[in-house]
A and B are shown apart, each in its own frame.
Chain A
Amino acid sequence: AQKVTQAQTEISVVEKEDVTLDCVYETRDTTYYLFWYKQPPSGELVFLIRRNSFDEQNEISGRYSWNFQKSTSSFNFTITASQVVDSAVYFCAPLKGQNFVFGPGTRLSVLP
């Protein structure tokens, strides 16, 4: 069975702080794809990153970075120098077949 855990339900930080959102994906599959999506108050799900299980290189995109470690089943997401506009719910979402299995989400509030 597959299980997606985002242990942090809610996080509040002050603007300019760094914040890391945790995701643990337990699966028996040896190959899989992992995604992060952002859901701002407007409601649309915004794609952030797609990684496959063969690629454990950390990735950085502007203020965003991702740390994928297959050995610990973790796919963590860090926002550096957070901004108020980063306030949203963030979902970790492995792909099962052609469909996403969304984690419960972490609500991030960045305070000015």
Chain B
Amino acid sequence: GAGVSQSPSNKVTEKGKDVELRCDPISGHTALYWYRQSLGQGLEFLIYFQGNSAPDKSGLPSDRFSAERTGGSVSTLTIQRTQQEDSAVYLCASSLAAKGRGVTFGSGTRLTVV
């Protein structure tokens, strides 16, 4: 597609449930990023995929968070046993080049844990 597509745009879930957030990057983009934006923590890096390399998971806040990128394209961020502090907007971005060039962000998924 023309841009980075994220689904759902909004998700309300009960505490303790698992959720999956989806990101469709721009076609051909080899790099994919997940960030989280919350009131208390601002914008935080979560995980970075580049081609077939092992992902950089250094930003994942706990082992309840995981992400996959299948076939070098679509990515799914999974949060297990959600907690209220997981409530945030989860932003996905993709790029073709390195060093931050051409990074395009999606509109995000707003997750609310009740």
Identity of the chain A residue whose Cβ is nearest the Cβ of B106 in the assembled complex: A44
CB-CB under 8 A for A99 and B48, given A33-B99, A43-B89, A50-B101: yes
CB distance from B51 to the nearest CB of A (A): 12
Chain B residues within an 8 Å CB radius of A102: 35, 42-44
Given contacts A42-B107, A98-B50, A99-B59, whether A104 and B91 have CB atoms under 8 Å apart is no
Residues of A within 8 A of B48 (CB): 98-99
Interface magnitude class on chain B: 20 to 34
CB within 8 Å of B: which of A87-112? 91, 93, 95, 97-105
Chain A residues in 8 Å Cβ range of B45 = 99-101
Nearest residue in B to A103 (C-beta to C-beta)?
A: B42
* Contact status A98-B42, CB under 8 Å: no
Contact with A along B98-114 (1 / 0, CB 8 A): 11110111111000000
9 contacts between A and B (CB under 8 A): A42-B107, A95-B100, A98-B48, A98-B50, A99-B33, A100-B45, A104-B42, A105-B42, A105-B43
